[in-house]
Amino acid sequence: MNMPQGRKLRVAMTLGQGSQVIDVAGPWEVFQDVRVKGESPFELYTVGSSRDMVVMSGGMQIIPNYSVEDAPQPDIIVSPAHENCRLINAWIKRSSVASDIVSSVCTGAYNLAEAGLLDGLTITTYHQSFDSMRKKYPQVNVHRDLRFVDQGQIITSGGLTSCIDMSLHIVRRYFGFEVAQETADILEYEGQGWKHSLGLKPPRCVAANGQPMETGRSCVWPVPYNQSD
- Is the pLDDT confidence value at 173 over 60? yes
What confidence score (pLDDT) does residue 1 get? 80
pLDDT at position 35 is 98
Q: Is 2 a member of any domain?
A: no
Look at residue 227 and tell me if it is in a domain: no
Where residue 38 sits, what CATH number does that domain have?
Answer: 3.40.50.880
Residue 43: inside a domain: yes
What pLDDT is stored for residue 198 in this prediction?
62
- Over the stretch 57-67, which tens digit does the pLDDT of each residue have? 999 999 999 99
Rounded Cα–Cα distance for residues 16 and 149 (Å): 23
Q: Which range has the worst mean pLDDT, 3-7, 34-38, 134-138?
A: 3-7
Give the number of other CB atoms < 10 A from CB of residue 152.
Answer: 11
Q: What is the pLDDT of residue 145?
A: 85
Residue 4 belongs to some domain of the structure: no
Q: At what angle do helices 177-187 and 162-175 cross, to 10 degrees?
A: 140
Give the per-residue pLDDT at 83. 96
Domain encompassing residue 124: 9-220
Q: Kindly state whether residue 177 falls inside one of the protein's structural domains.
A: yes
Alpha helices in the chain (DSSP H): 21-33, 86-96, 109-114, 130-136, 162-175, 177-187
Specify if 112 maps to a domain: yes
- Distance from first CA to last CA of the chain, Å, rounded? 9
pLDDT, tens digit, 9 for 90 and up, residues 112-160 = 999 999 999 999 999 999 999 999 999 999 998 889 999 999 999 999 9
The contacts of residue 69 (CB under 8 Å, 6+ apart) are none
Once rounded to an integer, what is the mean pLDDT over residues 90-102?
Answer: 98
**Which pLDDT tens digit goes with each residue over 190-227?**
999 898 766 543 333 334 343 444 433 344 433 333 33
pLDDT band for 3, please (50, 70, 90 cuts): confident
* pLDDT at residue 172 tops 80: yes
Structural domain contains residue 82: yes
Residues 36, 153, 121, 24, Cα dihedral to 10°: 60
Q: In whole angstroms, give the CA distance from residue 91 to residue 47.
A: 9
Quick one: pLDDT at residue 71? 98
Q: Is residue 3 part of a domain?
A: no
User: What's the structural domain count of the chain?
Assistant: 1
